Amino acid sequence: MDKIISYIKDSYDELMHKVEWPDRVSLMGSTVATIIGLLILTLFIFGMDGTVNKLVDFIYKIK
């Protein structure tokens, strides 16, 4: 039980005193970059899905 309490105390100490949190500007920049990356990935997957769908339809029309 002492190990668990020690772990929790050490974790709290590290979280509150040793972790270097990003400033607001840095956090906003990372958030915007993440959203833009997700939008690009979404458009890419949407385009690939449409392409594969048309390819499969074309293959089935040949048969």
Q: What confidence tens digit (pLDDT) does each residue in 6-61 have?
A: 999 999 999 999 999 999 999 999 999 999 999 999 999 999 999 999 999 999 99
Contacts of 22 by beta carbon, 8 Å cutoff, 6+ apart: 30
Structural domain boundaries enclosing 56? 2-62
Tokens of 38: 């997700």
Give Cα 1 distance to the centre of its chain. 36
CA–CA gap between residue 36 and residue 28 (Å, rounded): 12
Instruction: Please give the pLDDT value at position 33.
Output: 99
For residue 62, what pLDDT is reported? 86
Q: What pLDDT is attached to residue 44? A: 99
In the chain, the number of structural domains is 1
Q: DSSP string covering 24-46, please?
A: HHHHHHHHHHHHHHHHHHHHHHH
